[in-house]
Amino acid sequence: MNKFVIALSLFLVGCQLGGTTPTPGPQFYATGTQGLDVRVNTLSNNQLFMCEEGEVLLDLHNLGTSDIAQGIYTLTIEDQILKPVGKTKKQGSYSLEGRSAVNPVGGYTQLGFRFKTNNLPAQLETYQTPFIFNACYPYATSANIPVCIDPTRDPQAARSCKTTPVSGKGGQGAPVLVTLVEPLMVVQDNAVLPTFIVHIANAGKGRVVSTDSLGFACGNGGGTPSSKVRVMAQLQDEQLKCLPEMVDLRQGETKVTCMSNTYFGAAEGRANQGTFTTPLTVQLEYGYVTTLFYPFTITRLAHQEDCSSTQETYTPSTVSTSTDRGINWPPRS
């Protein structure tokens, strides 16, 4: 009896082991309207005394779905009031992975900036000076909007879907999003030529620039950065013709018309697929600028006249940005 029970148990356990069912990946959905999120870490200190060293720690989090391969940042400060110390640079670069099924939270990094306050003009007891952080990065939106291709003209035929506008207002994991897609089935002969009116808007808190204007946007060289978004659309492996190809979002929501060259519902060929749902893939390419404003308040101590004679001299460093702070903390007096 005992042997039978043991054999049965082994048999049941064996049945549960093995098998060829693959483990599915986590269900990841590209939603949201954020790209790079820049926040001031709570360890930062913007209330300084004259001649004191302070530090600003910024948390950079890529909350969108596009990878940031070559993002650049610039700092705008009053050089006569705040002097960078140590490895602190006013320009740098960073790279952050976007959210995906294998990385649902997105890439994260920290940037540290250390400063020393200079003398305040004699008549001032306190002074507020700006600290402006500009992050400029190329970004992309990949929207998969389910649309209905309906070449059927039979009024009584059951349909698997209806040709109605599809909203994308939940976002596609990027600050520039497709807000609405209006499908139009243009009837020609016995078939339809699908056309889509794609509505695009900037829902993020930053500014859209062209990808080739990112340098200008972060203060490199002269000129005014342009603000164009490249629009591409694909339907069933066919690249659609979109007009205009580049749109300017400075005036708000903009529409683009994307047309297919395939006659769906034709009697022969691959286009004869009846009424069906398929994803319209809209790819938007652009640059984005996220700006953080973090003013310093500098206070003169009572009877303080000027800083000590030994001042650190700012030397531009070629060390790239990393999360390693490489400084002495807390500062030695």
Partner 1 sequence: MRKSVIVLFVVLLSCTQFNTGTEQKQPTTGYRTGSQGLLITFLPNLPPPRVFDRDPFNVVLQVENLGTGRVGNGLDRLYISGFDHNLITGIGTDGIPLPLLEGRTQYINRGGLDTLSYRGTIRSLTEKRIDKYQPLILATACYHYETIANAQVCVDPDPYAPTSTARVCTPTAVGTGSQGAPVAVTNVQVDAAPGWTRFTINVQNVGGGSVFRNGNHYLAKCSPYNPGLAFDELDFVQVADVMISDTSIKSSCKPIDSSGHLRLQNGAGQIFCELNAPQGQTPYLTPLNIVLKYGYRQTIAKPVEIYPLS
Q: Which stretch binds partner 1 (CB under 8 A): 35-43, 157-165, 303-311, 317-325?
A: 157-165
Geometric angle at alpha carbon 90, from 87 and 95, rounded to 5°:
85
CA pair distance 85, 317, nearest whole angstrom: 10
CA pair distance 181, 45, nearest whole angstrom: 46
Residues 85-114 that bind partner 1 (CB under 8 A): 101-102
Which residue number, 268 or 305, has a Cβ lying nearer to partner 1? 268
Phi, psi of 297, rounded to the nearest 5 degrees? -115, 120
Q: How far is CA 304 from CA 78, 115, 129, 219, 312, in A?
A: 21, 19, 19, 36, 19
Total residues in contact with partner 1, by rule CB under 8 A: 40
Helices (H), 17-156: none
Helices (H), the chain: 2-16, 214-217
Q: Is 191 in the site for partner 1 (CB under 8 A)?
A: yes
CA pair distance 268, 272, nearest whole angstrom: 6
Q: Which stretch binds partner 1 (CB under 8 A): 79-87, 111-119, 148-156, 310-318?
A: 148-156
At closest approach, how far in Å is the CB of 226 from partner 1?
27
**Side-chain half-sphere CA neighbours of 260 within 13 A:** 24
Q: Is 331 in the site for partner 1 (CB under 8 A)?
A: no
Q: Is 130 in the site for partner 1 (CB under 8 A)?
A: no
Residues 3-22, mask of contacts with partner 1 (x by CB under 8 A): -------------------x
At closest approach, how far in Å is the CB of 63 from partner 1?
16
Q: Is 280 in the site for partner 1 (CB under 8 A)?
A: no
Would you tell me which residues interact with partner 1 (CB under 8 A)?
A: 22, 24-30, 101-102, 142, 144, 146, 151-161, 190-191, 236-237, 265, 267, 270, 272-279, 281
